[in-house]
Amino acid sequence: MAQYIKHYWKDTSGQWVPINKAELGRKYPEVEYTGLDVEVWATDKTLIDGKTFSVDVCLSIVPDSTPVEDITETFNINGVNVQKKVVQVITESDFNTIKTVYDQISPLFIEADILLRESWGLSGDDKIAKEVESLNKKSEAEDKQVEVDNLSTAL
């Protein structure tokens, strides 16, 4: 059996990361969650005073032997105290709903890349048609990532 969690990243000092910052080193909470198996990467969004703040999150599987519970932390984001679940126990159904969509992303990007490479040897309308097909696959993959992000944020 397994348990399913949605969790934030930790910074290199061991604190939960409340918003994305490019310069911030980060890691999975593997020390706290033995056997952590990260399966999905997503971005949750928080709206504060009309401004959207993003934080990268993961959906992971942990063994039944690993203790898990919801953990809520209060962060000051843009001058506003916000409570966020930095660890959230989720159902297998919620996990699978998001993972199913997530698993469609990479093949779509690969297809887009193959179509683009196929266009290299073409010219004229054939080249344009392949490039458009490639762009459509890439757009479909990006839409799937947005869907994953929205589903994760809604948990």
> Can you give the pTM of this predicted structure?
0.92
Per-residue pLDDT of the chain (155 residues; tens, 9 = 90+): 899 999 999 988 889 988 877 667 889 999 999 999 999 999 999 888 889 999 999 999 999 999 999 999 999 888 899 999 999 999 999 999 999 999 999 999 999 999 999 999 999 999 999 999 999 999 999 999 999 999 999 99
Residue-wise over 123-154: b if at least 16 C-beta within 10 A, else e? eeeeeeebbebbeebbeebeebbebbbebbee
The helix or strand, by DSSP H or E, that contains position 138, with its residue range, turns out to be helix 124-154
The predicted-structure confidence for 100-140, as pLDDT tens digits, reads as follows 999 999 999 999 999 999 999 999 999 999 999 999 999 99
- Collapsing DSSP states into helix, strand and coil, what is residue 101? helix
